[in-house]
């Protein structure tokens, strides 16, 4: 079978950077999972492969992925976990979570496993308020950036943690499915969609009314219609909405900037992942909330998610990032409007020796946008 990738490189990216456009052959895909700018899959023999989209490097790739036969795989930003047919979970990247489970769920800052109705989770990173250490009576689990929600056998929801823009309060249910994204959580109740939380990208207000499955990413979300076709909504800056493949699919999952779906012929199709150069900010002056926060949401939160307003560290989550950058809640100098190029954040975005993110250089259009925002006075 053929793995089809409809990803293209942003125009300004150095062509020497390897990309994953084109087609690569692999045998039937048994399971897959979409992380930040990468996805991983298991072939018919259970062997694990991963691939990035666009110019982005795979976070945590330097740490070896296990070389065993697996039955399912889950990946997030900086770690992944896979399960053998005996149920034994092995994680790589930033998580050393282990155990024997029936299903796995991996969020940006958590690893969870469900055995029967007993859920066991481990936080990835320093904060652990967003995962239940142990919960009983769990039927489904979904983890986002810093929230984890579970459904019990009756479909009643319970959520933990994180910055709350409403995404931690999807209502009690009963629900048939739940998907927790970065700042938005969507539920299905008899195929009726309800999304709560942040609506900057239209993830709440543009959600379709009915779907049979749902997956919420960072700036976009997708689900399957009653006809098993794919429907995506939210922001199209990475081409997830306009690139939706036609046909019917058994599953769909959304990452930070791209999405993948598995056809009924076990073919994996991925799309998006290319930054829209037309995503234009000509409506000056630039604002942090509208123009800059989406860059942090996409590229920084995996490592700078913060733990709330009082956390002294570099918290780039919505609601905290502006205060941190302006030196109001953390040390000064990250943004320096009187000497733009000395702004620490810009220095690190452009740095060769200690780049931020450490894994890939941002598209130059985004670095330029940050510079322009500071030049214009760094408006909120």
Please report, as ranges, the residues that interact with ligand HEC according to CB under 6 A: 59, 78, 296, 299-300, 302-304, 314, 334, 344-345, 348, 354, 356-359, 362
**CA 130, 133, 139, 143 torsion: positive or negative?**
positive
Name which of 59 and 141 has its Cβ closer to ligand HEC: 59
Instruction: List phi, psi (to 5°) of 288.
Output: -60, -45
Least separation, in Å, of the C-beta of 155 and ligand HEC?
35
Cα–Cα dist 105/109, whole Å: 11
Instruction: Check: CB of residue 43 under 8 Å from CB of residue 53.
Output: no
CB of 256 to ligand HEC, least distance (A): 11
* Distance between CA atoms of residues 235 and 212, nearest Å: 21
Which C-beta is closer to ligand HEC: that of 213 or that of 293?
Answer: 293
DSSP-assigned letter for residue 341: G
- Rank residues 48 and 292 by Cβ distance to ligand HEC and give the closer one: 292
The span from the CA of 201 to the CA of 207, in Å, is 11
Angle ∠(21,80,1) on CA atoms, nearest 5: 40
Q: What gap in Å lies between CA 163 and CA 130, rounded to an integer?
A: 9
**Nearest CB to ligand HEC, comparing residues 30 and 299:** 299
The DSSP secondary-structure symbol of 57 reads P
Q: Is the Cβ–Cβ distance between 214 and 225 less than 8 Å?
A: no
Residue 333 Cβ, how far from ligand HEC at the closest point, in Å? 8
Work out how close the CB of 322 gets to ligand HEC at its nearest, in angstroms, rounded to a whole number: 13
Q: What is the rounded (10 degree) CA torsion for 231, 232, 233, 238?
A: -160
Beta carbon of residue 352, minimum distance to ligand HEC (angstroms, whole number): 13
**Taking the mean position of all CA atoms in its chain, how far away is CA 137?**
27
Q: Which is nearer to ligand HEC, 34 or 269 (CB)?
A: 34
CB of 248 to ligand HEC, least distance (A): 36
Q: Which is nearer to ligand HEC, 81 or 151 (CB)?
A: 81
Residues 6 or more apart whose CB falls under 8 angstroms from that of 229 comprise 246, 247, 248, 249
Element (H, E) at 114: strand 110-115
Nearer to ligand HEC, 140 or 336 (CB): 336
Q: How far is the CB of 288 from ligand HEC (least distance, A)?
A: 12
- CA within 13 Å, CB half, 37: 30
CB of residue 150 to ligand HEC, shortest distance in Å: 27
**Triad 11, 263, 267: Cα angle to 5°:** 65
Output 42 or 303, the one with its CB closest to ligand HEC. 303
Is the CB of residue 280 less than 8 Å from the CB of residue 290?
Answer: no
Q: C-beta of 48: minimal distance to ligand HEC in Å? A: 21
Nearer Cβ to ligand HEC (118/313): 313
């Amino acid at each position: 079978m053929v793995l089809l990738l409809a990803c293209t490189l942003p125009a300004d990216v150095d062509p020497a950077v390897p990309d994953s456009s084109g087609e690569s052959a692999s045998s039937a895909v048994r399971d897959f999972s979409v992380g930040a700018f990468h996805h991983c899959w298991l072939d018919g023999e259970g062997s694990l492969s991963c691939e990035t989209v666009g110019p982005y490097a795979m976070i945590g790739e330097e740490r070896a992925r296990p070389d065993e036969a697996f039955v399912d795989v889950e990946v997030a930003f900086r770690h992944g976990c896979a399960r053998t047919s005996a149920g034994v979970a092995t994680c790589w990247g930033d998580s050393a979570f282990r155990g024997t489970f029936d299903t796995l769920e991996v969020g940006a800052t958590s690893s969870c496993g469900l055995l029967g109705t007993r859920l066991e989770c481990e936080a990835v990173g320093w904060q652990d308020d967003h995962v239940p250490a142990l919960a009983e009576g769990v039927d489904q689990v979904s983890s986002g950036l810093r929230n984890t929600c579970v459904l019990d056998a009756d479909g009643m929801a319970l959520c933990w943690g994180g910055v709350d823009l409403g995404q931690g309060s999807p209502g009690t249910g009963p629900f048939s499915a739940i998907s927790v994204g970065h700042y938005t959580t969507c539920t299905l109740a008899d195929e009726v969609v309800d999304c709560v939380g942040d609506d900057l990208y239209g993830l709440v207000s543009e959600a379709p009314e009915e779907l049979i499955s749902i997956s919420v990413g960072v700036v976009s979300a997708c689900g399957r219609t009653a006809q098993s076709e794919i429907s995506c909504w939210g922001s199209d800056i990475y081409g997830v909405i306009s690139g939706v493949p036609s046909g019917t699919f058994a599953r769909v999952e959304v990452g930070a900037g791209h999405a993948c779906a598995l056809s009924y012929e076990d073919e994996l199709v991925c799309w998006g992942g290319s930054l829209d150069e037309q995503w234009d900010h000509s409506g000056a002056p630039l604002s942090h909330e509208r123009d800059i926060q989406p860059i942090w949401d996409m590229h920084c939160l995996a490592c700078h998610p913060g733990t709330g307003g009082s956390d002294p560290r570099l918290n780039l989550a919505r609601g905290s990032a502006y205060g941190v950058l302006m030196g109001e809640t953390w040390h000064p100098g990250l943004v320096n409007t009187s000497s733009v190029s000395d702004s620490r954040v810009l220095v690190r975005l452009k740095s060769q020796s200690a780049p931020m993110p450490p894994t890939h250089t941002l598209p130059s259009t985004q670095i330029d946008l940050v510079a322009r925002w500071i030049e214009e006075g760094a408006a909120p």
